[in-house]
Amino acid sequence: MRTNSFALLTLLTICCLAACKSSNKETNGMEQETKLKIETTAGDIVVKLYDDTPKHRDNFIKLAKDGTYEGTLFHRVIKDFMIQAGDPDSKNAAKGQMLGAGDVGYTVPAEFVYPKHFHKKGALSAARQGDNVNPQKASSGCQFYIVTGKVYSDSALLDMERQMNQMRLNNAFNALAQKHMKEIYKLRKEGNENALLDLQDTLIAQAEAQVAAEPEFRFTPEQVKAYTTVGGTPHLDGEYTVFGEVLEGMDVVDKIQQAKTDRNDRPEADIRIKKVILLDD
């Protein structure tokens, strides 16, 4: 009897331990938020980083830990648009000095997770150089911005959708025209206007067929809800990597965006990052 009781007790203990391990595994399997606190002279901002943009997440954590952001300024502030920081050259910048070209010697490959992550108010995104020198849209190794944006009406978003679809058509036409550039130059040199118009009509028809074969651009219900309530900057979607968002301190972000700025959008009174701290869950 005693042996059986011991065996039963042992079995119950093993089952309990197995259940605990299973429970811990489930907890550990859950996606953990990576949170950081950006301490600024205007107040603190707590952000979370997305796990599905791992290159940007890991790079931001690295820069926070090695102190890269300590002493940098919010060097570009545009009301109802965004606040930008992270330029290493801003640490000891003279008053009125133009900023925004500083870097850490590398870029981060673009990580577009669109439309899941988009430029709603509070989005944390990576700055980058323009398409003319950066066609792959690689992100700056250190500079980032937080979206403030503005609230859009439903009709404004519909107009934007139409513009985006027209832009797709224009881009398709321009790409086709580029392939026929030698022929276009030849016809222009000959002054053959009729042939040029015929070629234009042909390329327009080809561009329309190409665009028609793809789904039209439409904002998702989540985007529409965000852009018509809290606001954002929808025209940046798909152009810059969104890798996190503000959890606490949007009042600080709003305070910063109200700062008086010079003609280069730099606040006249310096707003500085004191430290970026990785927070434990």
State whether 130 and 94 are in the same domain: yes
Quick one: 166 and 67 in the same domain? no
Q: Identify the CATH number of the domain in which residue 60 sits.
A: 2.40.100.10
Q: Does the residue 20 lie in any domain?
A: no
122 and 187 in a single domain? The answer is no
Same domain, 205 and 171: yes
17 inside domain: no
Q: Do 133 and 192 reside in the same domain of the chain? A: no
Please say if the pLDDT value at position 90 is more than 90.
yes
Residue 55 and residue 118 in one domain: yes
Tell me, what's the pLDDT at 31? 56
How does DSSP classify residue 39?
E
Claim to verify: residue 159 and residue 146 sit in the same structural domain: no
d(CA 230, CA 250): 11
pTM, two decimal places:
0.81
Amino acid at 115: P
Residues 51 and 99 in one domain: yes
Q: Residue 48: count other Cβ atoms within 10 Å of its Cβ.
A: 18
Closest to 75 measured CA to CA, from 270, 275, 210:
270
Structure tokens at 269: 């009174």
Number of structural domains in the chain? 2
Is residue 126 located within the same domain as residue 102? yes
Name the maximum alpha-carbon separation found in the chain. 109
Indicate if 241 and 131 belong to the same structural domain: yes
Q: Is the pLDDT of residue 12 over 80?
A: no
Per-residue model confidence as pLDDT tens digits over 115-154: 999 999 999 999 999 999 999 999 999 999 999 999 999 9
Mean pLDDT of all residues in 188-199: 94
Looking from the CA of 269 toward its CB, the CA atoms found within 13 Å total 8
Q: Which domain does 160 fall in, by range?
A: 155-212
SS3 labels along 140-209: ECCCEEEECCECCCHHHHHHHHHHHHHHHHHHHHHHHHHHCHHHHHHHHHHCCHHHHHHHHHHHHHHHHH
